[in-house]
Copies of this chain bind each other. A is one copy, B any other.
C-alpha cells in the first residue's frame, strides 16, 4: 500500500499511538523497531490537545515528529466506548468527552474535517460500532446508517478535493489552514459493520464496497464476542470486498488471531495488546505470554525470549526486568513494550516472507499450535 509518507508492506501491524504517542516509546525507537505505520486516535486528539493545536503545528506528523505513515480512526468507536451522555442520530453523534465533560458533536463531515487537519495518511469513515451482544434489528439499522455515513464521508472528501476547490488560488487561500490544505493524498477507508450476523456482514460489505474506497476495514470485531463469531464475521464480509484493496481488521488481536485473519485475507491490524500488556509486566513469546512479575523469573539471566533481536533482549535479563516491574520503574514497562512491539512487527514480517515463499499456511498452523493463548490476555483487550 502506498501512502503520502511511504509504502507499507502487508500484512502489517500498526502500533497504537492513541494520544500522539505509542505509549512509552519514542518515534526514534519506532523507527528502530521498523514500524511501518502507526495509528492515532482521532477522539483522543480531538479532546486533548484539541485539533486546533495539531493544525497549528502543521499536522500530526510534525506535532509528534513521526515522518512515516499514520492512520487515524474516525473517533466513532471511542465516542461509543469512552464518552458520556452520547446521543446518536442520523446527523451524527453528540457526546460529552470523558476528560472534562465538554459537550461536542461529530458528524461524518466533521470526522473528515478533523482527520484532514490531523493530516493522516489513511483516514477512516465515521461508523457506529454495534455492541456485543446486539439485537438483529438494531444491528441492521446501525449497519445501514453506517453505510449512509460512509457515503457522506466520501462526498465530504470529494467536495474538498474537487478541482474547482483545490486548483483555484483564491479557494486555496480561503482554505488555508483548514481542510483542503491537508487532505492531499489522504487515503480513505470504509468500514464494514453488521455485528455477528452473516447476512448483515455481507450486505454491509457490499454497500461499503459499492462506494469505492481506497481500502476496507472490518469493524465491530473483538468487542467481546467469542473468537469463532469474530472469524465468521470476517469470513462473511471478505468475499464482498474488492481483491485489489487493502483490508484492515480493526482492534485485533492475539498473535494467532493475526495469522488466522491474514489467512482470511486481512492485511492490516492495530491492537493495544503489546503495549497495554507490557504495562502489566506481560511479555509475548512464541509459546505464549509470560508475566515477568512472577517469582520464577527473579534470578533468570535469560532475555525475555532467546534469539530475539529486540533492544530489550539484546541487553537485559528477565530477572532485571522483573525487578524493574516490581519496583514500578518506568524502564521495566519500556523494555517489555519494545519487546512486545518487536514481537508483533516481526511476526508480520515473517508472515510476509512465508506468503512470498508459498509456505504461509504451514507456518501459521505451526505457530498457532505452539502458541498458548491465556484467558487473562484476552480480558485485557
Contact = CB atoms under 8 A, between A and B. Distances in A.
Identical copies of this chain, number: 2
Q: Which of A48, A329, A331 has most chain B Cβ within 10 Å?
A: A331
A193 to B, nearest CB: 29
Contacts of A329: 19-21, 23
Interface in A25-82: 25-28, 44, 48-49, 53, 56-57, 63-65
Contact of A57 (B23, B25, B27, B319): B319
Q: How large is the interface on A (under 10, 10 to 19, 20 to 34, 35 or more residues)?
A: 35 or more
B326 A48 contact: yes
A323 B323 CA distance: 30
Contacts of A317: 57, 63
A136 interface: no
A344 to B, nearest CB: 19
A319 B65 CA distance: 12
A316 interface: yes
A356 interface: no
Contact of A320 (B20, B299, B320, B322): B20
A331 B316 CA distance: 21
B299 A56 contact: yes
Contacts of A301: 57
Contacts of A20: 320, 323-324, 329
A28 to B, nearest CB: 7
A49 B298 contact: yes
A326 B49 contact: yes
A63 B65 CA distance: 33
A17 to B, nearest CB: 9
A334 B298 contact: no
A327 interface: yes
B334 A330 contact: yes
A55 to B, nearest CB: 10
A324 to B, nearest CB: 6
A304 to B, nearest CB: 14
A64 B48 CA distance: 36
Given A316-B65, A330-B334, A334-B330, A323 B53 contact: yes
Contact of A315 (B28, B324, B335): B28
A334 B65 contact: no
A327 B48 contact: yes
A24 interface: yes
Contact of A19 (B53, B311, B327): B327
Contacts of A25: 331
A68 to B, nearest CB: 14
Given A49-B298, A53-B299, A298-B53, A63 B320 contact: yes
5 contacts: A20-B323, A23-B329, A24-B334, A56-B299, A57-B317
Interface of A: 19-21, 23-28, 44, 48-49, 53, 56-57, 63-65, 298-299, 301, 311, 315-317, 319-320, 322-324, 326-327, 329-335
Given A21-B327, A48-B327, A65-B315, 7 more contacts: A19-B329, A21-B331, A23-B329, A26-B334, A26-B335, A63-B320, A65-B320
Q: Which 8 residue pairs of A and B lie closest in terms of their CB atoms, listed nearest first?
A: A49-B323, A24-B330, A21-B329, A19-B327, A21-B331, A65-B315, A56-B299, A63-B320
